[in-house]
Chain A
Amino acid sequence: MKEVDELKAQLQDLQNKALALFAEAESLKVLQELRVAYLGKKGELTSVLKGVGKLPPEDRPVIGQFVNATKTTLAEALDKAEVLLSDKEKQARIQAERIDITLAGRTTSRGVVHPVQQGLNEMTAIFSQMGFEMAEGPEIEDEFHNFDALNIPAEHPARAMHDTFFFNAEGDADAKLLRTHTSPVQIRAMQACVDAGGEPPLAVVAAGRVYRCDYDVTHSPMFHQVEVFKVDKDVSLAHLKGVLQHFLTAYFEKDVPIRLRPHYFPFTEPSAEVDIGCVFCNHKGCRICKGSGWIEVLGSGMIHPNVLKAVGIDSSVYSGFAFGLGVERLVMLKHGIPDLRLFFENDVRFLRRMGAK
């Protein structure tokens, strides 16, 4: 046998053995070892090649081709085996990593904004977008800002409508009280404007806590109001209706019919109470609206000239509208909350439920 044939046979042998081993390999690691063992610098193929030098020159290219062919075959077989194995291993890993995706997720406990706060935020946002500036005032007020400047002098019967928490005897020169409404902020905002040498237009929204000495199923001694007013030249009752309609539609997130009923407030003239179409029965009449289809939501009107006079604004030049609304009442209507007292019991189950949207 010629040397060249012997080498060929040897290579063929090597190839057969290697292919068998590749096929049997069970892991990528084993396969990698086999790659090194056959194709590495010190691998078997290399050692076979060492014999090539002894061949006569004319045989060398022949055997060279043969070696290359073997090398390619082995490399391809290795690649193929590797793909198969890695695929298999990946499948095995995926299988092993299977989880119960229905288990509860890892969470930290969520907080919630109080529904009254939520209502306040929504309302003030609507008015801010309509160009009303936010203002604040003290909760401990004096008679001037809470009553007198709002055209409610001491002997006025309307004072009896406010069950006031007085700190000292009513009528004392500097009697202090807990504000019974947010309307004193109206006075303070207008005063601040006039004192700073300014003049209308003024468009203000003021939100805050107010107090009445009344405590039963439908009354809380502390509750929240939002006060809105605008003073400018030629402000009209029609503008008041425009702002009310926009606000109520935006807040209730639907077209609610509104109705203004003539009423009496000392600080507005004309005055109107505002009803919305009952949100529970869609204006058809139910137990909650006492069959009328209407629910009273707020008091409003054109600012009384005596109020403007009290702060030094000329009522022959300027006019304005104002309204004040009870936040709790609107939140109750929007979310169908049956009892005012729930807001101040602060049961976290209720709060979480309402915070869930």
Chain B
Amino acid sequence: MKIPFSWLKEHCPIEKSPQDVADDLVRLGHEVEGIETPRAGVKGVRVGHIVEMKPHPDADKLKLLKIDLGDVDHLAIVCGATNMVEGDKVPVATVGTCLPNGLKIKKGKIRGEVSFGMCCSEAELGLAEDADGLLILPQDAPVGEEVGEYLGLEEAVFDLDITPNRGDCMSLRGIARDLAADYGLPLIEPGDEVVATDDSVTTPTVGVVASEDCLLYRACRIEGVKVSASPDWLQARLIAAGLRPINGVVDVINYTMLDLGQPMHAFDADTLHGDITVRTAKEGETFTSLEGKEVSLHAEDLVIADDNSVIALAGIMGSEPTGVTEKTTNIVLESAAFRPARISITRRTCGLVSDSSMRFERGVDPGMIALAMDQVAHMIVGLFGGKVSATTTVGDADSLIKDTQIQVNMQRIASRLGIEVPKTADAVLERMGFGIEHQGDTLNFSVPSHRPDVRLAEDISEEYARVIGFDNIPVVMPPLTNIQPSKVDTGITDAVRLGFVQVINYAFISPQEQRLFVAEDAPQDDKDLVLPNPISEAMSVMRRSMFPSLLNTAKYNMNRQQTGVALVEQGRVYAGNMIEHTETNMLAWLMTGDVQQDTWYAKTRKADFFDLKGAVESWLQGRGLTARFMADDDVQGLQAGQTAKIFIGKSVAGYIGKVDGDLADGFDLSDDVFVASINLDVLHAGKKAKFQPIPEFPSIERDLVFLFDKGATSDAILQTVRKACGQHLVNASIFDLYDGEGVPEGKVSLGIRFVLQDGKRTLTQEDSGKAMQAVIDMMVNKFEAELRG
């Protein structure tokens, strides 16, 4: 909400600077988004008199102007507008001026003709969104005067963000009330001039059916109005407050809404048929808004209707055909109280927002209903003439305006704030309109009609906190309640320690990306969680796989001069439908391109399956877990022969594999891409490390080399070896793999290294010999392996 300072001063005689007032508003809980200075914004723009206008010799659409600014010499200006004539007065931005849109005026040459400034439109002066041609000033505008001063532009305008609980502050009066209370200054009461009613004008007949939602409805009829544009001062105020002038009647209503906070509406009486009824809409009824938008209504929408049709959505907007125009002569004026929740629901279902609905939703002071209506009638008659009928009132105004009484214990407020409430706070609250009476610890608090947000003891504590000032609340550390064992999840830091860069991607991906690693479900068990209102198609489905986002990140980086990336991401994947869905915590890796670049000690090398497998194994080992990798040729998106399921015990914990080449190509990734994922939710805690004595007796190492058929897996061989060796085996590993020259076709030479040890004695040659023989026998029997040299 925009608050022109000069207008604010009409409600309260403030003498502070705009910046000081802004600081005080912040302290009182009103967020100041900025202080605009419209007049300063057009400094250097002066009233110019067009003394001569000639066509540009080289450009049909340009004019050469001679401008009198009251200085000795006339100014030559090249101008592209067409709406001015010789003798007009226009705003002229002189050289050096900086316009609100950021344009800095310089001396220039346009098609060979020198120009020493610019004639401006409303838009260029920041007075309107857009404009057609120059702003033509009245003939009596004094030549050479600053346009900002001549137009009476505001010196300062506060741009406030009013919180949703403070409907009362959606007006000049509301803001002034808070400031006046804080400063100890008087709040100037609005004028009480009332137009004498004229019995010759028929009072409108109003029926309120939906009395739960329409708490009070007042209406009067004004006849013989000559609707014309509102006066300049009024238009200037509306513009400064961010509203567009429309016509005299509408402007007066809007002005009063800004001034006192009460939204009102005027109908063209001659477009109405019969009486006015406030009721809920009938299913299927439609309504055409002032903006020309047609909406179909629901049974819960509150409407104002005549005998034929809906003439307004209560508290939101009038209908187009019944609106006041320049041709209107008779009007019906409405000032009412509607239930905020009802307005809020209709506003949302109809998708119509207005200055009126914003106020009704937040709560309007019913105390202003009559006063605001009187002010509007008074202004309309004064400015545009007319005779006013007596007012029809439906509803109990007195009970609506009555103060609300709350009783609370002062100690509760003190305990909630952590400070004893100082006596001075009461005086400020009383100036804000609250009634305060202390009886021992009991506080009898009466809340005026403009503060429907204050209903509970806690609300009162907030009012006290505001006037005490949050800065004056002490800083106290609360007592420690409980110490919890630290459960720091080191999953991601462990992965990072293995050389991976952690990335964080959005949880939503495109439907196409979803299908890369997850097949489409049968329609009846669709497990894609789709966002109906996504940011874009590319972010419209909750991911069921971590891989698409990782591939995108790899693509992004490989396109930016990286020769290889190793990425890791921790996040969730989502599947299911509205009734049942899952969120699973995942850790996922991606490696592609160089794992080693050329250095003085090593040659460049590209990532392969075992680089990633090693990382995954190390990560699992770090949590005390050992995995088994089982080849799986049937994982969508991953290449057969280089893909495995990862088992922890009997459960599948994840997958690792090479991304299908064509799929990787789709992400512009030309090097092999390897990905892995682990479902963190299936991992058990792993064994806690337990002490074991360091073996006393030395271990012995033995090597055996066999020729195996290709296809024998090291996993199967080592498992067999473990069985053969028996209890003395500490470790068996493949130390050599060779299938080059000297190895027959279809065979592979594998070197196995054994470490044997006994906890109670030093092993002998005989012990190791026995074990090796057992291994050789098993290898021959089971794999038809042949011992080499």
State the A residues within 8 Å of B (CB): 103-104, 106, 108-114, 116-117, 121, 124-125, 128, 130-134, 138-140, 153-158, 161, 165-168, 174, 176, 178, 201-203, 209, 211, 213, 215, 221-222, 230, 232, 234-239, 241-243, 245-246, 259-264, 269-273, 290, 302, 304-305, 315-316, 319, 343-349, 351-352, 355
B165, B567, B571 — most chain A CB neighbours (10 Å): B165
Q: How far is the CA of A76 from the CA of B411 in the complex (A)?
A: 100
In the complex, which of the residues B348, B458, B532, B599 contacts A269, with contact meaning CB atoms closer than 8 Å?
B458
**For this complex, into which size category does the number of interface residues on chain B fall?**
35 or more
CA–CA, A156 to B321, complex, Å?
A: 31
Docked Cα-Cα span, A238 to B486, in Å, equals 27
Return 20 A-B CB contacts under 8 Å, by A number: A111-B497, A113-B502, A128-B488, A130-B480, A138-B583, A139-B583, A140-B542, A167-B529, A201-B481, A221-B508, A236-B476, A237-B465, A238-B476, A239-B477, A259-B470, A260-B470, A261-B470, A270-B417, A351-B503, A352-B501
> Are A158 and B164 CB-contacts (below 8 A) given A140-B529, A167-B531, A241-B475?
yes
CA of A328 to CA of B626, assembled, Å? 36
Let me know if B535 and A114 touch, CB within 8 A.
no
Contacts A112-B501, A270-B461, A346-B503 given; does A236 touch B416 at CB 8 Å? yes
Query: B501 to chain A: which residues have CB within 8 Å?
Result: 111-112, 348, 351-352, 355
Give the CA-CA distance A353 to B579 in the complex, in Å.
Answer: 44
CA distance A234 to B566 in the complex (A): 51
Closest 9 CB pairs of A and B: A238-B418, A236-B418, A262-B29, A264-B163, A270-B462, A111-B496, A260-B470, A201-B481, A239-B478
Give Cα distance in the complex from A271 to B453, angstroms. Answer: 13
Inter-chain contacts of A237 with B (CB < 8 A): 416-419, 465, 470, 473
Q: Given A166-B532, A348-B565, does the pair A238, B474 have CB atoms closer than 8 Å? A: yes
Contact A304 B532 (CB under 8 A): no
* CB-CB contacts below 8 Å: B558-589 with A: 560, 562, 565-568, 570-572, 574, 578-579, 581, 583
Contact B484 A242 (CB under 8 A): no
Question: Which of A103, A108, A132, A319 is the one whose CB lies under 8 Å from B415?
Answer: A319
B481→A109 contact, CB < 8 A: no
> What residue of chain A has the Cβ atom nearest to residue B568's Cβ?
A111
Residues of B within 8 A of A154 (CB): 345
| Residue contact A114 to B503, C-beta cutoff 8 Å | yes
Complex contact A140–B499 (CB within 8 A): no
Q: Which of these, A131, A215, A245, A261, contacts B29 with CB under 8 Å?
A: A261
List 18 other contacts, CB 8 Å, given A211-B507, A259-B471.
A103-B600, A110-B499, A112-B501, A139-B574, A155-B342, A156-B344, A167-B532, A176-B581, A202-B481, A209-B507, A215-B535, A221-B506, A237-B419, A243-B477, A260-B470, A261-B26, A273-B31, A315-B458
Q: Does B362 contact A (CB under 8 A)?
A: yes
Nearest CB to that of B163 among chain A residues? A264
Q: Which residues of B contact A174 (CB under 8 A)?
A: 578-579
B83 on the A face (CB < 8 A): no
Q: How near does chain B come to A78, taking the closest CB pair, in angstroms?
A: 38
Q: Are A112 and B496 in contact (CB under 8 A)?
A: yes
Once the chains are docked, how many angstroms separate the CA of A264 from the CA of B530? 33
Chain A contacts of B234 at CB under 8 A? none
CB-defined contacts of A302 to chain B, threshold 8 Å = 416, 458, 461
The proximity string for B residues 347-371 relative to A, scoring 1 for CB distances below 8 Å and 0 otherwise, is 0100000000000011000000000
CB <8 Å contact, A230 and B476: no
Q: Which residues of chain A are within 8 angstroms of B456 by Cβ–Cβ distance?
A: 269, 305
Tell me, in angstroms, the Cα distance from A347 to B533 when the chains sit together.
Answer: 28
Cβ of B139 < 8 Å from any Cβ of A?
no
Q: Does B113 contact A (CB under 8 A)?
A: no
Q: Which residues of A contact B475 (CB under 8 A)?
A: 238, 241-242, 245
Q: How far is the CA of A156 from the CA of B472 in the complex (A)?
A: 31
Cβ contacts under 8 Å, B506 to chain A: 221-222, 344
| Binary flags per residue of B404-429, CB closer than 8 Å to A gives 1, else 0 | 00000000100111110000000000
Across the interface, name the chain A residue whose C-beta is closest to B419: A238
Contacts of B471 in A (CB 8 A): 259-260
The answer to whether B462 touches A269 (Cβ under 8 A) is yes
Q: Is residue B689 within 8 Å, beta carbon to beta carbon, of the partner chain?
A: no
Q: Do the beta carbons of A167 and B578 come within 8 Å of each other?
A: yes
From B473, B480, B497, B530, A238 is in contact (CB under 8 Å) with: B473
Q: Which residues of B contact A140 (CB under 8 A)?
A: 529, 542, 574, 581, 583
Tell whether, in the assembled complex, residue B163 and residue A222 are in contact, meaning their CB atoms are under 8 Å apart. Answer: no
Of the candidates B486, B507, B542, the one whose C-beta lies within 8 Å of that of A128 is B486
If A111-B495, A111-B568 touch, does A270 touch B478 (CB 8 Å cutoff)?
A: no
Asked whether any CB of chain A lies closer than 8 Å to the CB of B166, the reply is yes
List the B side residues contacting A113 at CB < 8 Å. Answer: 492-493, 496, 502
Interface centre among A117, A154, A246 (most CB of B within 10 A): A117
Q: Given the complex of chains A and B, what is the CA–CA distance between A126 and B459 in angstroms?
A: 31
Query: How far is B535's CA from A215's CA once the two chains are assembled, in angstroms?
Result: 7
Known: A166-B532, A222-B506. A347 touches B416 (CB 8 A): no
**B465 near A262 (CB under 8 angstroms)?**
yes
Q: Which of A153, A161, A167, A242 contacts B478 (CB 8 A)?
A: A242
Q: Are A235 and B478 in contact (CB under 8 A)?
A: yes
- A247–chain B nearest beta-carbon distance, Å: 11
How far does the Cβ of A44 sit from chain B's closest Cβ, in whole Å?
Answer: 45
Distance in Å: Cβ of A237 to nearest Cβ of chain B: 5
Does B722 sit at the interface, judged by CB under 8 A?
no
Residues of B within 8 A of A261 (CB): 26-27, 29, 31, 470
| Bound-state Cα–Cα, A272 to B466, Å | 10
Taking the closest CB of chain A, its distance from the CB of B141, in whole angstroms, is 35
- Give the chain A neighbours of B493 by CB distance below 8 A: 113, 121
A140-B581, A209-B507, A242-B476 known; A230+B481 contact, CB < 8 A:
yes
Task: Tell whether B188 is near chain A: CB-to-CB under 8 Å.
Answer: no
Q: How far is the CA of A111 from the CA of B506 in the complex (A)?
A: 21
B539 close to chain A: CB less than 8 A:
yes
Q: Which residues of chain A are within 8 angstroms of B345 by Cβ–Cβ distance?
A: 154-155
Chain B residue, CB-CB nearest to A220: B506
Q: How many Å from the CB of B718 to the closest CB on chain A?
A: 26
Cα-based distance from A125 to B493 in the complex (angstroms)? 14
Chain B: which residue is nearest A153 at the CB level?
B341
Docked CA distance A245–B478 (Å):
12
B481 contact set on A, CB distance < 8 A: 131, 201-203, 230, 232
Inter-subunit contact A346/B557 (CB<8 Å): yes
Contact B529 A346 (CB under 8 A): no
What residues on B are CB-neighbors of A116 within 8 Å? 504
Q: Tell me whether A166 and B362 are in contact (CB under 8 A).
A: no
CA distance A106 to B474 in the complex (A): 56
Q: For residue A114, which residue of chain B has the nearest CB? A: B502
Tell me, in angstroms, the Cα distance from A353 to B27 when the chains sit together: 40
CB neighbours (8 Å) of B34 from chain A are 290
Q: Within the complex, what minimum Cβ distance (angstroms) separates A61 from chain B? A: 54
Give bound CA distance, A271 to B303, whole Å.
35
A315–B578 Cα distance when bound, in Å, is 34
Output the least CB separation between A232 and chain B (Å): 6
Interface centre among A110, A140, A154, A305 (most CB of B within 10 A): A140
Complex-state Cα separation, A108 to B566, whole angstroms: 12
Report A-chain residues with C-beta under 8 Å of the C-beta of B691: none
Does B743 count as interface, using CB distance less than 8 angstroms? no
A165 and B541 CA atoms in complex are apart in Å by 12
- Min Cβ gap A154→B in Å is 7
Q: Are B504 and A114 closer than 8 Å at their CB atoms?
A: yes
Query: Is the pair A348, B416 in contact by a Cβ cutoff of 8 Å?
Result: no
- B500 close to A (CB within 8 Å): yes
CA distance A290 to B471 in the complex (A): 21
Please, which residue of chain B has its CB at the minimum distance from the CB of A238?
A: B418
A239, B476: Cβ atoms closer than 8 Å? yes
Given contacts A167-B532, A263-B163, A264-B164, contact A117 B504 (CB under 8 A): yes
Residues of A contacting B362 in the complex (Cβ-Cβ under 8 angstroms)? 157
Please indicate the chain B residues that have their CB under 8 angstroms from the CB of A166 in the complex.
532-533
Least Cβ–Cβ distance between A339 and chain B, in angstroms: 15
B581/A263 in contact, CB under 8 A: no
